[in-house]
Amino acid sequence: MIIQKIHTISMIGAGNIADHLARWFQSRGYVIESVWSRNFSNAQQLADRIKANAVKYLEELSKTSDLYLVCVSDDALIDVIGKLSESGLKNKLLAHTSGSTPIDIFGKSFNNFGCVYPLQTFTKGKPLNSEDIPIFISGNNDFTIQLLGNLANDLSPKCFVISDEQRMNIHLAAVFACNFTNHLYCISQNLLTESKVSFVLMHPLIRETFQKAIENNPCEVQTGPAKRNDRSIIRKHLDLLDEKRNLKEIYQLLSESILKQDEI
Amino acid sequence: MIIQKIHTISMIGAGNIADHLARWFQSRGYVIESVWSRNFSNAQQLADRIKANAVKYLEELSKTSDLYLVCVSDDALIDVIGKLSESGLKNKLLAHTSGSTPIDIFGKSFNNFGCVYPLQTFTKGKPLNSEDIPIFISGNNDFTIQLLGNLANDLSPKCFVISDEQRMNIHLAAVFACNFTNHLYCISQNLLTESKVSFVLMHPLIRETFQKAIENNPCEVQTGPAKRNDRSIIRKHLDLLDEKRNLKEIYQLLSESILKQDEI
């Protein structure tokens, strides 16, 4: 590998993350050469949008790309990387975008590999506000780390080199702060709907909760019945949830967890 | 009761909510006459800040207030209302601010009573952005509802008359969307700290999660391993939490709940 800087990229995968990343790369002057997807029409759609070349088989990927970025679901990674190892890319630079997969999944089939992990939730059709998205990179050698680091630096002012273990913990923390939080919003909305109240009325409360959490240490601004150890309210709420066993368990577990937090 | 509109208010309780509400009332031209708290020095501090009269005993509360607003913790409500019933306020208008207490806690000791429930989390020392906070009111008769409704209308453009049952469900929904959400932020922060990563790097992600939830139906924009039913990631995350039984349980329960959500 004799490149000093990445200029051209091929995308392996054409889903939500591939779509957002490809546009992000283009906005910073990178050239997307080819796009592959298990579903060819997806590859074609993405390639059309970004004026790249859609390919049906991995062997048809451009041979001249400086980076081959694997943006497929974690479940598909092993399979896709296995097939890539037969595509003549042994000395090329490859990276995946998975939060919870070690980079040595590229194993002994490749000489230069790593990960580019942007910490964000990507919504189909919603343009990225990419200004302050942190990008975490990993690589199997100094050269790889430098190339991916330069790429990440072009995308965001917040780039960090991390270990597999750190990335996995960051992904786990993101599941709590993003995916689970959104699920609680969903539960809240369902409870309100039952009471014929619009979730829109909850917006100022959840905005304030978010604002407080970013202006402070969230652990220190906890409020609510569990924080006050207000047993009579907790009991009333559990009674209300008597016929919703799932929500009752979540209420109980999170309330106990808030109580325990103060014991630590 | 012959008043047509509330002009003067006495505050029973001098905590966080009393403090925020008293300033809110004043900003709209209401006069706070007297303030009582179980802890007299708290009453004095609040009274000093809002130029009202602090009283040591409930019997000393101004007899001329148009509204006596009880802002004490739910645990203290029964006791305080019991004592108030001996304070010569039988024909006055009283209201509490509790999300989960029926208004008939004022029972047979009073003729006119209700509830003023602002849906917000109040932070000590942090001024209220009161523009769009919804206020839910209840009253035991039309006259009470009208008086409290006029008051609420002066505070916010979003006022609603609701039943005890609706208020309790709104409070429950708020616990999920606000208190539990904040606790998840706290858990996330703790996990990041263990990996020597600052929670500040999580801000763009949680901002995007909040934005998506208010711009859409949160149930419809769910993302993450559980939503994708990505069992290999879920298993890895549970392994990571092996020595944190509490977090492991929360992870498991919320992931199952997200999975179930799609089955409904």
Global ipTM? 0.93
Nearest to B203 among A207, A214, A226 (CB): A214
Cβ neighbours of A133 in B, within 8 Å:
204
A61 vs A34: CA distance, rounded Å: 6
Q: Which of A160, A184, A199 sits opposite B181 (nearest CB)?
A: A184
| Nearest Cβ partner for B173 among A191, A226, A249 | A191
Contacts with B75 from chain A: Cβ below 8 Å: 230-232
Distance of alpha carbon B6 from its chain centroid, rounded? 22
- Across the interface, whether the CB atoms of B219 and A186 are under 8 A apart is answered yes
Interface test with A, best of B188, B235, B246, B251 (most A CBs within 10 A): B188
What percentage of residues in chain A have a pLDDT greater than 70? 98
Q: Nearest C-alpha of chain B: how many angstroms from A142?
A: 22
- Domain parsing of chain A, residue ranges: 8-162, 168-263
Per-residue pLDDT at B263 = 64
From the CA of B112, how many Å to the nearest CA of chain A?
Answer: 24
How near does any CA of chain B get to the CA of A1, in Å? 32
- pLDDT above 70 for A84: yes
| Per-residue pLDDT reduced to its tens digit, A191-248 | 999 999 999 999 999 999 999 999 999 999 999 999 988 888 999 999 999 999 999 9
**In this complex, do A120 and B205 lie within 8 Å of one another by their Cβ atoms?**
yes
- The closest CB to that of B169, out of A195, A256, A261, belongs to A195
Q: Is B168-263 the same fold as B8-162? A: no
> Could you report the per-residue pLDDT of A102-154, keeping only the tens digit for each?
999 998 899 999 999 999 988 888 887 777 899 999 999 999 999 999 999 99
Distance from CA of B259 to the nearest CA of A (A): 10
- Cα–Cα distance, B73 to A107 (Å, whole number): 60
- Work out the average pLDDT over A245-253: 97
Residue B239: HSE in the Cβ half-sphere, 13 Å Cα cutoff: 9
pLDDT on residue B5:
93
Give all strands of the β-sheet with B159-161 in edge-to-edge order.
Answer: B53-55, B31-36, B8-12, B67-70, B93-96, B112-118, B135-139, B159-161
For the stretch A9-27, pLDDT in tens is 999 999 999 999 999 999 9
Nearest to A73 among B160, B177, B230 (CB): B230
State the pLDDT at residue B115.
Answer: 98
End-to-end CA distance of chain A: 51
For residue B2, the model assigns a pLDDT of 66
pLDDT value of position A4: 83
Per-residue pLDDT, B1: 58
Beta-carbon count within 10 A of A39 CB = 10
pLDDT band at A264 (very low <50, low <70, confident <90, very high): low
- Measured between beta carbons, the chain A residues lying within 8 angstroms of B126 are 212
CB contact under 8 A, B191 and A176: yes
Amino acid residing at A172: L
Q: How many CA atoms lie within 13 A of B128 on its CB side?
A: 25
Q: Is the Cβ–Cβ distance between A113 and A139 less than 8 Å? A: yes
pLDDT at A116: 98
User: Chain B residues with CB inside 8 Å of A202's CB?
Assistant: 119, 173-174, 177
Say if the Cβ atoms of A223 and B134 lie within 8 Å: no
- What is the number of CB-based contacts under 8 A between chain A and chain B? 310
- Please indicate whether, in this complex, the C-beta atoms of B120 and A217 are within 8 angstroms of each other: no
CATH topology of domain A168-263: N-(1-d-carboxylethyl)-l-norvaline Dehydrogenase; domain 2 (1.10.1040)
Predicted local confidence at residue A263, as pLDDT:
65
Q: Are the beta carbons of B210 and A213 separated by less than 8 Å?
A: no
Given the structure tokens 């090329």, which residue do they identify? A92
Q: Which helix (H) or strand (E) holds B38?
A: none
pLDDT tens track of chain B, all 264 residues? 567 899 999 999 999 999 999 999 999 999 999 999 999 999 999 999 999 999 999 999 999 999 999 999 888 999 999 999 988 899 999 999 999 999 999 988 999 999 999 999 888 888 877 778 999 999 999 999 999 999 999 999 999 999 999 999 999 999 999 999 999 999 999 999 999 999 999 999 999 999 999 999 999 999 999 998 888 899 999 999 999 999 999 999 999 999 998 765
B206-232: string of b/e by CB count within 10 Å (b at 16+)? Answer: bbbbbbbbbeeebbebbbbbbbeebee
At residue A130, the pLDDT reads 77
CA distance B138 to chain A (A): 15
A119–B172 CB contact, under 8 Å:
no
Instruction: State the average pLDDT for chain A.
Output: 94
Q: What is the pLDDT of residue A2?
A: 67
Contact A170 B197 (CB under 8 A): yes
- CATH class, domain A8-162, is alpha beta
Contact A205 B180 (CB under 8 A): no
Q: Which residue of A has its CA nearest to B219?
A: A186
Spell out which residues of chain A touch residue B251, defining contact as CB-CB under 8 Å. 175-176, 180
Which residues in chain B have their CB less than 8 angstroms from residue A203's CB? 132, 214
